Amino acid sequence: MTPFQLVLIGFGVALVLGVLLYNWWQERKYRQESLRLFHREIEPLDLAQPATAEPERVEPRIQLDAAQVHDYASPGNESWGQPEIGAGQAEAEPGPFVAPREPEPEALAAQPAPAPAFEAAQFEQESPLDPDTEYIARLRFSQPVMAPVVGLIEQVRQIGKPVRAMAQGPDGRWEPVAGPSRASYAALELGLQLADRSGAVTSAQIDAFCRALYNFAAEQGGAVSCPDKYAALELARALDLFCIEVDVLIGLNIVAPDGRPFLVSEVHRCATEAGLTLQPDGSYALKNAAGRTLYSLANQSDEPFQPERVGASTHGITLLFDVPNVADGLMVFDRMAELAQRLARSLGGRLVDDNGKLVSQESLQKIHQRLAEAYASMDARGIPAGGERASRLFV
Protein backbone atom coordinates (compact mmCIF):
# COMPACT_ATOMS: atom_id res chain seq x y z
CA MET A 1 0.00 0.00 0.00
CA THR A 2 1.45 3.38 -1.04
CA PRO A 3 1.77 6.38 1.27
CA PHE A 4 -0.76 8.24 -0.87
CA GLN A 5 -3.38 5.53 -0.22
CA LEU A 6 -2.67 5.66 3.51
CA VAL A 7 -3.18 9.42 3.47
CA LEU A 8 -6.53 9.02 1.70
CA ILE A 9 -7.69 6.42 4.22
CA GLY A 10 -6.72 8.62 7.12
CA PHE A 11 -8.47 11.59 5.57
CA GLY A 12 -11.65 9.54 5.11
CA VAL A 13 -11.64 8.35 8.73
CA ALA A 14 -11.11 11.88 9.97
CA LEU A 15 -13.95 13.16 7.81
CA VAL A 16 -16.39 10.56 9.19
CA LEU A 17 -15.39 11.32 12.76
CA GLY A 18 -15.84 15.00 12.09
CA VAL A 19 -19.36 14.53 10.78
CA LEU A 20 -20.33 12.40 13.78
CA LEU A 21 -18.89 14.96 16.19
CA TYR A 22 -20.69 17.81 14.44
CA ASN A 23 -24.04 15.98 14.59
CA TRP A 24 -23.59 15.29 18.31
CA TRP A 25 -22.83 18.94 18.97
CA GLN A 26 -25.88 20.12 17.00
CA GLU A 27 -28.21 17.68 18.80
CA ARG A 28 -26.93 18.80 22.21
CA LYS A 29 -27.38 22.44 21.25
CA TYR A 30 -31.02 22.03 20.14
CA ARG A 31 -31.89 19.94 23.20
CA GLN A 32 -30.70 22.70 25.54
CA GLU A 33 -32.58 25.32 23.53
CA SER A 34 -35.85 23.34 23.71
CA LEU A 35 -35.56 22.90 27.47
CA ARG A 36 -35.10 26.64 27.89
CA LEU A 37 -38.10 27.56 25.70
CA PHE A 38 -40.64 25.04 27.02
CA HIS A 39 -39.72 24.88 30.69
CA ARG A 40 -42.67 25.66 32.99
CA GLU A 41 -42.98 25.75 36.72
CA ILE A 42 -45.15 22.90 38.02
CA GLU A 43 -47.14 23.73 41.09
CA PRO A 44 -46.79 21.14 43.83
CA LEU A 45 -49.78 18.99 44.59
CA ASP A 46 -51.57 20.01 47.78
CA LEU A 47 -52.36 16.70 49.48
CA ALA A 48 -54.17 18.41 52.30
CA GLN A 49 -56.92 19.70 50.02
CA PRO A 50 -59.51 16.99 49.32
CA ALA A 51 -60.14 16.18 45.74
CA THR A 52 -63.56 16.72 44.25
CA ALA A 53 -65.41 13.42 44.35
CA GLU A 54 -66.78 12.23 41.06
CA PRO A 55 -69.64 9.79 40.86
CA GLU A 56 -68.58 6.23 40.21
CA ARG A 57 -69.31 5.11 36.65
CA VAL A 58 -71.48 2.04 36.35
CA GLU A 59 -71.38 0.27 32.98
CA PRO A 60 -74.77 -0.36 31.36
CA ARG A 61 -75.90 -3.98 31.40
CA ILE A 62 -77.76 -5.70 28.60
CA GLN A 63 -80.24 -8.25 29.87
CA LEU A 64 -82.11 -10.57 27.51
CA ASP A 65 -85.12 -12.62 28.43
CA ALA A 66 -84.46 -16.30 27.72
CA ALA A 67 -87.51 -16.44 25.46
CA GLN A 68 -86.05 -13.70 23.31
CA VAL A 69 -82.75 -15.40 22.48
CA HIS A 70 -82.66 -16.61 18.90
CA ASP A 71 -80.11 -18.47 16.82
CA TYR A 72 -78.47 -15.60 15.02
CA ALA A 73 -76.81 -17.97 12.56
CA SER A 74 -80.16 -19.17 11.23
CA PRO A 75 -81.48 -17.31 8.18
CA GLY A 76 -84.37 -15.06 8.87
CA ASN A 77 -83.96 -15.04 12.67
CA GLU A 78 -83.05 -11.40 12.85
CA SER A 79 -85.48 -10.28 15.56
CA TRP A 80 -84.06 -9.82 19.03
CA GLY A 81 -85.67 -8.79 22.26
CA GLN A 82 -85.23 -5.13 23.17
CA PRO A 83 -82.40 -5.05 25.76
CA GLU A 84 -82.94 -3.58 29.20
CA ILE A 85 -80.23 -1.04 29.92
CA GLY A 86 -79.87 -0.07 33.54
CA ALA A 87 -77.28 2.35 34.85
CA GLY A 88 -76.74 3.66 38.35
CA GLN A 89 -74.44 6.23 39.91
CA ALA A 90 -72.43 5.86 43.09
CA GLU A 91 -73.81 7.88 45.98
CA ALA A 92 -71.56 10.39 47.66
CA GLU A 93 -72.83 9.44 51.12
CA PRO A 94 -74.39 6.19 52.25
CA GLY A 95 -78.11 6.47 52.80
CA PRO A 96 -80.61 4.27 54.56
CA PHE A 97 -80.92 0.75 53.26
CA VAL A 98 -83.70 0.33 50.70
CA ALA A 99 -84.63 -3.13 49.45
CA PRO A 100 -84.20 -3.32 45.65
CA ARG A 101 -87.32 -3.71 43.60
CA GLU A 102 -87.82 -6.75 41.40
CA PRO A 103 -87.08 -5.98 37.71
CA GLU A 104 -90.00 -5.59 35.38
CA PRO A 105 -90.60 -8.95 33.65
CA GLU A 106 -91.87 -7.66 30.35
CA ALA A 107 -89.58 -6.51 27.57
CA LEU A 108 -90.66 -5.11 24.29
CA ALA A 109 -89.41 -7.07 21.28
CA ALA A 110 -88.08 -5.05 18.40
CA GLN A 111 -89.87 -5.57 15.14
CA PRO A 112 -87.53 -7.03 12.47
CA ALA A 113 -86.92 -4.86 9.48
CA PRO A 114 -88.45 -6.28 6.31
CA ALA A 115 -85.82 -7.93 4.11
CA PRO A 116 -85.59 -7.16 0.42
CA ALA A 117 -87.75 -9.44 -1.69
CA PHE A 118 -84.86 -11.24 -3.40
CA GLU A 119 -83.09 -11.89 -0.06
CA ALA A 120 -86.21 -13.30 1.57
CA ALA A 121 -86.86 -15.51 -1.42
CA GLN A 122 -83.45 -17.14 -1.09
CA PHE A 123 -84.56 -19.02 2.00
CA GLU A 124 -87.98 -20.12 0.78
CA GLN A 125 -86.83 -23.15 -1.21
CA GLU A 126 -83.93 -25.53 -0.90
CA SER A 127 -81.76 -26.29 -3.89
CA PRO A 128 -82.43 -29.67 -5.54
CA LEU A 129 -78.73 -30.54 -5.18
CA ASP A 130 -77.91 -33.53 -2.98
CA PRO A 131 -75.61 -32.92 0.05
CA ASP A 132 -75.29 -36.68 0.64
CA THR A 133 -73.62 -37.26 -2.71
CA GLU A 134 -72.35 -33.80 -3.73
CA TYR A 135 -70.00 -31.15 -2.38
CA ILE A 136 -72.22 -28.09 -2.69
CA ALA A 137 -70.82 -24.57 -2.87
CA ARG A 138 -73.05 -21.49 -2.97
CA LEU A 139 -72.35 -18.21 -4.72
CA ARG A 140 -74.53 -15.29 -3.66
CA PHE A 141 -74.83 -11.87 -5.24
CA SER A 142 -75.78 -8.69 -3.44
CA GLN A 143 -78.23 -8.00 -6.26
CA PRO A 144 -79.53 -10.31 -9.01
CA VAL A 145 -77.06 -10.27 -11.90
CA MET A 146 -76.63 -11.79 -15.34
CA ALA A 147 -73.40 -13.77 -15.02
CA PRO A 148 -71.61 -16.02 -17.57
CA VAL A 149 -72.38 -19.18 -15.62
CA VAL A 150 -71.88 -21.62 -18.50
CA GLY A 151 -68.18 -20.81 -18.74
CA LEU A 152 -67.76 -21.47 -15.02
CA ILE A 153 -69.55 -24.82 -15.29
CA GLU A 154 -67.39 -25.91 -18.21
CA GLN A 155 -64.30 -24.99 -16.22
CA VAL A 156 -65.18 -26.95 -13.09
CA ARG A 157 -66.28 -29.98 -15.11
CA GLN A 158 -62.70 -30.30 -16.31
CA ILE A 159 -61.73 -31.21 -12.74
CA GLY A 160 -62.67 -34.83 -13.40
CA LYS A 161 -65.93 -35.31 -11.50
CA PRO A 162 -69.54 -34.68 -12.55
CA VAL A 163 -70.85 -31.22 -11.65
CA ARG A 164 -74.44 -30.00 -11.47
CA ALA A 165 -75.42 -26.33 -11.33
CA MET A 166 -78.62 -24.72 -10.08
CA ALA A 167 -79.52 -21.04 -10.38
CA GLN A 168 -81.93 -19.15 -8.15
CA GLY A 169 -83.92 -16.33 -9.64
CA PRO A 170 -85.12 -13.23 -7.79
CA ASP A 171 -88.39 -15.07 -7.05
CA GLY A 172 -86.51 -17.73 -5.07
CA ARG A 173 -87.14 -20.62 -7.44
CA TRP A 174 -84.26 -22.89 -8.46
CA GLU A 175 -83.71 -24.08 -12.00
CA PRO A 176 -80.92 -26.13 -13.60
CA VAL A 177 -78.34 -24.28 -15.66
CA ALA A 178 -78.26 -26.09 -18.99
CA GLY A 179 -76.95 -23.45 -21.38
CA PRO A 180 -76.42 -19.74 -21.98
CA SER A 181 -79.15 -17.56 -20.50
CA ARG A 182 -79.91 -13.88 -20.11
CA ALA A 183 -81.81 -14.44 -16.88
CA SER A 184 -80.79 -12.66 -13.68
CA TYR A 185 -79.67 -14.82 -10.77
CA ALA A 186 -79.66 -14.04 -7.06
CA ALA A 187 -77.60 -17.13 -6.18
CA LEU A 188 -75.87 -20.11 -7.73
CA GLU A 189 -75.21 -23.55 -6.30
CA LEU A 190 -72.74 -25.97 -7.84
CA GLY A 191 -72.51 -29.59 -6.70
CA LEU A 192 -69.27 -31.52 -7.21
CA GLN A 193 -70.08 -35.24 -7.08
CA LEU A 194 -68.30 -36.97 -4.21
CA ALA A 195 -67.82 -40.33 -5.93
CA ASP A 196 -68.40 -42.22 -9.15
CA ARG A 197 -67.04 -45.36 -10.78
CA SER A 198 -63.60 -43.75 -11.09
CA GLY A 199 -63.34 -43.35 -7.30
CA ALA A 200 -63.85 -40.75 -4.58
CA VAL A 201 -63.24 -37.05 -5.05
CA THR A 202 -59.77 -35.91 -3.98
CA SER A 203 -58.55 -32.97 -1.92
CA ALA A 204 -56.92 -31.43 -5.00
CA GLN A 205 -60.19 -31.62 -6.93
CA ILE A 206 -62.11 -29.85 -4.16
CA ASP A 207 -59.40 -27.17 -3.96
CA ALA A 208 -59.57 -26.59 -7.71
CA PHE A 209 -63.38 -26.47 -7.54
CA CYS A 210 -63.45 -23.82 -4.79
CA ARG A 211 -60.63 -21.83 -6.37
CA ALA A 212 -62.58 -21.54 -9.62
CA LEU A 213 -65.63 -20.29 -7.70
CA TYR A 214 -63.61 -17.72 -5.74
CA ASN A 215 -62.09 -16.36 -8.94
CA PHE A 216 -65.52 -16.17 -10.55
CA ALA A 217 -66.95 -14.38 -7.51
CA ALA A 218 -64.11 -11.86 -7.57
CA GLU A 219 -64.90 -11.05 -11.20
CA GLN A 220 -68.69 -10.92 -10.84
CA GLY A 221 -69.00 -9.40 -7.37
CA GLY A 222 -70.33 -12.25 -5.26
CA ALA A 223 -69.61 -14.15 -2.05
CA VAL A 224 -68.72 -17.85 -2.04
CA SER A 225 -69.52 -20.36 0.68
CA CYS A 226 -67.66 -23.69 0.49
CA PRO A 227 -68.34 -26.46 3.05
CA ASP A 228 -65.66 -28.10 5.18
CA LYS A 229 -63.33 -29.98 2.86
CA TYR A 230 -62.19 -32.66 5.30
CA ALA A 231 -65.73 -33.64 6.25
CA ALA A 232 -66.54 -33.91 2.54
CA LEU A 233 -63.50 -36.11 1.90
CA GLU A 234 -64.52 -38.44 4.71
CA LEU A 235 -68.05 -38.66 3.34
CA ALA A 236 -66.68 -39.28 -0.16
CA ARG A 237 -64.51 -42.17 0.99
CA ALA A 238 -67.41 -43.81 2.83
CA LEU A 239 -69.69 -43.35 -0.17
CA ASP A 240 -67.08 -44.78 -2.53
CA LEU A 241 -66.59 -47.87 -0.36
CA PHE A 242 -70.33 -48.48 -0.32
CA CYS A 243 -70.58 -48.09 -4.08
CA ILE A 244 -67.77 -50.59 -4.58
CA GLU A 245 -69.68 -53.16 -2.53
CA VAL A 246 -72.85 -52.99 -4.61
CA ASP A 247 -71.38 -52.12 -8.02
CA VAL A 248 -71.72 -55.53 -9.67
CA LEU A 249 -71.97 -56.44 -13.34
CA ILE A 250 -73.44 -59.92 -13.76
CA GLY A 251 -72.60 -61.80 -16.94
CA LEU A 252 -74.18 -65.03 -18.20
CA ASN A 253 -72.26 -66.58 -21.07
CA ILE A 254 -73.52 -68.90 -23.78
CA VAL A 255 -70.58 -70.58 -25.51
CA ALA A 256 -70.67 -72.67 -28.67
CA PRO A 257 -69.44 -76.26 -28.72
CA ASP A 258 -66.03 -76.85 -30.27
CA GLY A 259 -66.07 -76.49 -34.04
CA ARG A 260 -69.71 -75.32 -34.18
CA PRO A 261 -69.87 -71.49 -33.80
CA PHE A 262 -73.17 -69.65 -33.61
CA LEU A 263 -74.45 -67.96 -36.74
CA VAL A 264 -74.95 -64.25 -36.09
CA SER A 265 -78.20 -64.40 -38.05
CA GLU A 266 -79.54 -66.95 -35.55
CA VAL A 267 -78.41 -64.81 -32.61
CA HIS A 268 -80.19 -61.84 -34.19
CA ARG A 269 -83.41 -63.83 -34.62
CA CYS A 270 -83.41 -65.07 -31.00
CA ALA A 271 -82.57 -61.63 -29.62
CA THR A 272 -85.24 -59.75 -31.53
CA GLU A 273 -87.85 -62.36 -30.64
CA ALA A 274 -87.03 -61.69 -26.97
CA GLY A 275 -87.63 -57.96 -27.44
CA LEU A 276 -83.99 -56.83 -27.72
CA THR A 277 -82.98 -54.26 -30.33
CA LEU A 278 -79.68 -53.78 -32.12
CA GLN A 279 -77.76 -50.75 -30.81
CA PRO A 280 -75.35 -48.45 -32.68
CA ASP A 281 -72.38 -50.07 -30.92
CA GLY A 282 -73.28 -53.49 -32.33
CA SER A 283 -74.82 -54.97 -29.17
CA TYR A 284 -78.43 -55.79 -28.36
CA ALA A 285 -80.36 -54.25 -25.49
CA LEU A 286 -83.69 -54.62 -23.76
CA LYS A 287 -84.98 -51.22 -22.64
CA ASN A 288 -87.85 -50.07 -20.49
CA ALA A 289 -90.50 -47.50 -21.41
CA ALA A 290 -88.18 -44.66 -20.35
CA GLY A 291 -85.45 -45.87 -22.69
CA ARG A 292 -83.11 -47.14 -19.96
CA THR A 293 -81.26 -50.38 -20.55
CA LEU A 294 -82.36 -53.34 -18.44
CA TYR A 295 -79.80 -55.80 -19.78
CA SER A 296 -77.76 -56.23 -22.93
CA LEU A 297 -76.40 -58.97 -25.20
CA ALA A 298 -72.85 -58.60 -26.49
CA ASN A 299 -70.48 -60.54 -28.69
CA GLN A 300 -67.62 -62.18 -26.79
CA SER A 301 -65.27 -61.29 -29.62
CA ASP A 302 -64.23 -57.71 -30.31
CA GLU A 303 -66.42 -57.50 -33.41
CA PRO A 304 -69.89 -55.96 -33.11
CA PHE A 305 -72.89 -57.92 -34.27
CA GLN A 306 -73.55 -57.40 -37.99
CA PRO A 307 -76.56 -59.57 -38.84
CA GLU A 308 -76.55 -58.35 -42.45
CA ARG A 309 -73.23 -60.11 -43.06
CA VAL A 310 -73.91 -63.46 -44.65
CA GLY A 311 -72.20 -66.33 -42.85
CA ALA A 312 -70.98 -64.22 -39.89
CA SER A 313 -70.49 -66.33 -36.76
CA THR A 314 -69.31 -66.12 -33.15
CA HIS A 315 -67.99 -68.57 -30.58
CA GLY A 316 -69.86 -67.02 -27.68
CA ILE A 317 -72.30 -64.37 -26.51
CA THR A 318 -72.79 -62.71 -23.11
CA LEU A 319 -75.86 -61.32 -21.39
CA LEU A 320 -74.90 -58.39 -19.11
CA PHE A 321 -76.86 -57.04 -16.14
CA ASP A 322 -75.74 -53.76 -14.48
CA VAL A 323 -76.97 -54.32 -10.92
CA PRO A 324 -77.14 -50.78 -9.40
CA ASN A 325 -78.61 -49.14 -12.50
CA VAL A 326 -81.71 -51.32 -12.89
CA ALA A 327 -84.93 -50.74 -10.99
CA ASP A 328 -86.92 -53.85 -10.03
CA GLY A 329 -83.65 -55.69 -10.50
CA LEU A 330 -84.73 -59.05 -9.10
CA MET A 331 -87.54 -59.41 -11.62
CA VAL A 332 -85.31 -58.20 -14.46
CA PHE A 333 -82.52 -60.62 -13.52
CA ASP A 334 -84.92 -63.56 -13.45
CA ARG A 335 -86.12 -62.54 -16.89
CA MET A 336 -82.55 -62.36 -18.18
CA ALA A 337 -81.67 -65.75 -16.67
CA GLU A 338 -84.69 -67.28 -18.40
CA LEU A 339 -83.55 -65.79 -21.72
CA ALA A 340 -80.03 -67.14 -21.20
CA GLN A 341 -81.35 -70.66 -20.73
CA ARG A 342 -83.57 -70.31 -23.80
CA LEU A 343 -80.67 -69.03 -25.94
CA ALA A 344 -78.49 -71.94 -24.83
CA ARG A 345 -81.17 -74.39 -25.92
CA SER A 346 -81.97 -72.63 -29.20
CA LEU A 347 -78.36 -72.15 -30.28
CA GLY A 348 -77.12 -75.48 -28.94
CA GLY A 349 -74.62 -73.88 -26.56
CA ARG A 350 -73.67 -74.14 -22.89
CA LEU A 351 -74.57 -71.64 -20.17
CA VAL A 352 -71.43 -70.88 -18.12
CA ASP A 353 -70.15 -68.22 -15.72
CA ASP A 354 -67.05 -66.08 -16.18
CA ASN A 355 -64.88 -68.95 -14.92
CA GLY A 356 -66.26 -71.36 -17.50
CA LYS A 357 -68.32 -73.37 -15.00
CA LEU A 358 -71.81 -74.54 -15.92
CA VAL A 359 -74.56 -72.38 -14.46
CA SER A 360 -77.27 -74.47 -12.84
CA GLN A 361 -80.66 -73.49 -11.52
CA GLU A 362 -79.18 -73.59 -8.03
CA SER A 363 -76.47 -71.15 -9.11
CA LEU A 364 -79.09 -68.76 -10.43
CA GLN A 365 -80.96 -68.93 -7.11
CA LYS A 366 -77.76 -68.01 -5.23
CA ILE A 367 -77.22 -65.03 -7.51
CA HIS A 368 -80.84 -64.00 -6.93
CA GLN A 369 -80.29 -64.08 -3.15
CA ARG A 370 -77.12 -61.98 -3.35
CA LEU A 371 -78.93 -59.46 -5.49
CA ALA A 372 -81.71 -59.22 -2.91
CA GLU A 373 -79.11 -58.42 -0.22
CA ALA A 374 -77.43 -55.80 -2.41
CA TYR A 375 -80.72 -54.09 -3.23
CA ALA A 376 -81.76 -54.07 0.43
CA SER A 377 -78.44 -52.41 1.30
CA MET A 378 -78.95 -49.78 -1.39
CA ASP A 379 -82.46 -49.03 -0.19
CA ALA A 380 -81.22 -48.66 3.39
CA ARG A 381 -78.55 -46.23 2.21
CA GLY A 382 -81.11 -44.12 0.36
CA ILE A 383 -79.71 -45.05 -3.06
CA PRO A 384 -82.37 -47.28 -4.64
CA ALA A 385 -81.24 -49.19 -7.71
CA GLY A 386 -82.17 -47.46 -10.94
CA GLY A 387 -83.04 -44.26 -9.08
CA GLU A 388 -81.78 -40.72 -9.61
CA ARG A 389 -78.89 -41.06 -7.18
CA ALA A 390 -77.78 -44.40 -8.60
CA SER A 391 -77.85 -43.05 -12.15
CA ARG A 392 -75.39 -40.33 -11.11
CA LEU A 393 -73.10 -42.47 -8.95
CA PHE A 394 -72.75 -45.51 -11.19
CA VAL A 395 -71.57 -43.96 -14.44
Q: How confident is the model at residue 26 (pLDDT cuts 50, 70, 90)?
A: low
Sorted by where each begins, the domain ranges of the chain are: 118-240, 247-393
Query: Has residue 94 got a pLDDT over 80?
Result: no
The predicted pLDDT at position 121 comes to: 44
- Which has more pLDDT, 180 or 381? 381
26-30, 31-35, 376-380 — which one is most confidently predicted on average?
Answer: 376-380
The predicted pLDDT at position 256 comes to: 96
Q: Which CATH number describes the domain made up of 247-393?
A: 3.30.1400.10
Average pLDDT of the chain, as a whole number: 81
The predicted pLDDT at position 30 comes to: 55
The predicted pLDDT at position 23 comes to: 73
- Lowest mean pLDDT across 195-204, 243-252, 265-274, 301-310: 301-310
Q: How confident is the model at residue 27 (pLDDT cuts 50, 70, 90)?
A: low
- Lowest mean pLDDT across 47-51, 202-206, 321-325: 47-51
Specify the CATH class of 118-240 in words.
alpha beta
Q: Terminal CA-to-CA distance of the chain, rounded, Å?
A: 85
Query: Has residue 36 got a pLDDT over 90?
Result: no
Query: Has residue 192 got a pLDDT over 50?
Result: yes
The predicted pLDDT at position 35 comes to: 52
9-13, 140-144, 206-210 — which one is most confidently predicted on average?
Answer: 206-210
Query: Has residue 96 got a pLDDT over 50?
Result: no
The predicted pLDDT at position 6 comes to: 80
Q: In terms of pTM, does the model score above 0.85?
A: no
- Asked if the domains 118-240 and 247-393 are classified in one and the same CATH topology, the answer is yes
The predicted pLDDT at position 389 comes to: 97
Query: Has residue 47 got a pLDDT over 90?
Result: no
What value does the mean pLDDT take over residues 139-164? Answer: 88
The predicted pLDDT at position 142 comes to: 80
